[in-house]
């Protein structure tokens, strides 16, 4: 083979990864998988896909080297191939935000307006240590069980309205979810503030927290 052919063969491998990402639904699947290993059924439900469609997208991601899978009985579990995949995913989001003007507008349309400055992750660490914040994880229970910020309490968004009275009223509540572009924390803060509770969201979410190498813990069995 010529040197040009060899170069093309190499760059085709790079392109294979890029092509595997070229789908909004596959990006959505990566967003969920960044929280931890999931079955095909859970991934399909979380992303609003039919089971066969989710499986096809996951196969494309696996072919591109972005996810791996294992079988346990009749169930197939998928997970990110490595932390570098999570960093690639966040990198793509950042490039889109910086260089595509439409990204910011699309984010505002999806997430809604947020007129309060979010609590930075470093500040949050300090406030957790000093006990001046009540931290709420509003992701689904299985995501909290897989990994969460130590000191956080699991209150999935779907259950939050019925548990507002159980939250302390004399301390600021900080909510967090999957990541910067996850709507759960935004909705949680709006709900809590409508109920008269002081609340803000954490800047970013579990994805950014883990990429920064911050400690997490798991729910005890």
What gap in Å lies between CA 39 and CA 37, rounded to an integer? 7
Length of the chain equals 221
What gap in Å lies between CA 205 and CA 137, rounded to an integer? 10
Exposure b/e, 134-154, CB count within 10 A at least 16 = b: bbbbbbbeebbebbbbebbeb
Beta carbons within 10 angstroms of residue 221's beta carbon:
4
Q: Tokens 């595997």, residue? A: 20
Q: Is 177 a catalytic residue?
A: yes
Q: Tokens 């169930």, residue? A: 75
What letter does residue 214 receive in the DSSP assignment? Answer: -
Instruction: List the one residue out of 42, 49, 50, 45 whose CA is nearest residue 24.
Output: 49
What gap in Å lies between CA 174 and CA 203, rounded to an integer? 10
CB contact at 8 A, 188 and 214: no
| Side-by-side strand order, sheet with 67-72 | 38-39, 75-80, 67-72
Tokens of 119: 């609590």
The catalytic residue among 177, 182, 184, 206 is 177
- Catalytic site residues? 177
């Amino acid at each position: 083979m010529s040197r040009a052919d060899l170069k093309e063969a190499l760059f085709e491998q790079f392109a294979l990864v890029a092509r595997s990402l070229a789908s909004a639904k596959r990006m959505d699947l990566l967003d969920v998988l960044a929280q931890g290993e999931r079955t095909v059924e859970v991934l399909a439900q979380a992303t609003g896909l039919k089971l066969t469609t989710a499986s096809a997208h996951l196969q494309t991601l696996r072919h591109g080297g972005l996810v791996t899978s294992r079988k346990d009985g009749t169930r197939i579990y998928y997970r990110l191939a490595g932390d570098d995949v999570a960093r690639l995913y966040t990198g793509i989001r950042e490039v889109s935000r910086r260089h595509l003007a439409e990204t910011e507008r699309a984010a505002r349309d999806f997430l809604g307006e947020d007129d309060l400055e979010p609590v930075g992750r470093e500040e949050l660490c300090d406030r957790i240590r000093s006990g001046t914040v009540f931290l709420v994880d509003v992701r689904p229970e299985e995501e909290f069980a897989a990994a969460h910020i130590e000191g956080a309490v699991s209150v999935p968004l779907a259950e939050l309205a019925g548990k507002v009275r159980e939250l302390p009223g004399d301390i600021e509540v900080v909510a967090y979810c999957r990541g910067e572009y996850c709507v759960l924390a935004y909705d949680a803060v709006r709900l809590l503030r409508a109920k008269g509770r002081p609340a803000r969201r954490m800047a970013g979410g579990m994805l950014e927290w883990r990429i920064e190498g911050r400690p997490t813990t798991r729910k005890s069995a």
